[in-house]
Structure 1
């Protein structure tokens, strides 16, 4: 396994990161523990979760699963870069969501308790909060850093101008600010190439793509269409499949001609993209994770990358040249 610095930060993370969104709802706890142990053995050190994963408000089921795995062998904690997120609703009462200083403090304390640790290495703001000023957000986060409960701060699902505003406010406070942004990025969804990726490169912010297989659509979905499970059965995913069926069919044939699995190619393509720090894979089963581990070994040549660009054209590069002169 190879490692990259997380943006301009000194900490290094594996080129593949372990996403845990399936742990609990789709992946039973014993299998989740098996996947985490295998990830550690394979050199994967970035473990990514969120307080809302598990999809039962206030319970943090996935964080609890990770916490019990860490508790089983305390030596594991210092071998991983543990990342979680906050923003989503964790209760029905006021101030149990978004990014107020009150919620940031409480959400962090609750995550630490569920994860059975005294600190998280990367605390990510799961979505932009248009109602809370960055001065308040940074004040709350600075306090958590000063208390040793958080080491680094990142964002997720933020537009380029949100990232810019956040980082400029951080610079005014003479603090490090953001070290990472996590957003959807894959062959089918390349919008971040317009402005998010350029903004991250400008500020030295690491980029962590999630949903690299677009809900399974890039994993050989047509070949297994009769037996689809998990996210590939969701209405949004089915609509995307109907919209892109011909393109996905051509992609699966291209991969077959190459002699490679579609999922491996999709992950490898991301690993070839400038600015990508670590690709977050979210396996549902140990077998899926084993397949993902093979991706870093697949090297795609310039001609192959060009052919994939032709199959899945992006926005045309960075803004404004992508749409103007």
Structure 2
């Protein structure tokens, strides 16, 4: 009897084959709940333990529904919960998330999260049209693209560079010995410029040149001018495809740039041509691995692939660099950049 009961219980509680699909649909509710919490600054209050009633009163929300929201966020591992001395459930941001959800933190990512959510919603809304047999790739005006990048540099890119990417660069620059003696660094697609600012501050002998679109340079220049190493921060307003380099660089940082160029191999050749004899090219991009499931990568880059942007297959950039004459290429796979992991290639001639 016990054996039969155990088998019955196992059959009743086993995950249904549809569960992964249900989870995908439910994730939309989870995203909207999180988005609401970020938009309404709930996390600023939840830096300290708070009950649902206290939170609802402070933010003028429905008390009972706020309780359900907090229970959901706790189930998603965003909040910790515990009972106080009166057996009232109290909620607080998980300690490891505080730097990124505290508006006073220099690693705050709230605006970047909202920006990401808006972009994801916009892309999702476009998907049905992209499967039509007569679908044609959208052609956006270059100026509109440039202005969009400038806006992203102010919000999403700036916060994510501060919270995530500079930490990665710090580890990589310790790993790569050439940084200690390098004189010139080129930051291709510099975004908010925090990578160059970080490196110029860490390595006092290093001059950093930021290559970006003119509107982006105009947006970030005030921050560069206020930086302690401003005299070693230089700007080039151009695309990587239009620029003709008149000097060589000991370090070249190129992250997620190749997705937006017409000919990635030509761009890599140009970067290697600008690399000094003993220099290092650090090339960071997501790559599609046909042998492994990559739900994050496949989701994030679906729209780009449909729009015919370059998203390399696993090992493709490595092989291109080999053909271009790089004799020493180190690959670090699945480095945890914002949203999706990237493969980091450290290449020397």
Same fold (TM over 0.5): no
Q: Which has the larger radius of gyration?
A: 2
Q: Which has the higher helix share?
A: 2
Q: TM-score, normalised by structure 1?
A: 0.28
Structure with the greater relative contact order (CA < 8 A, sep ≥ 6): 1 or 2?
1
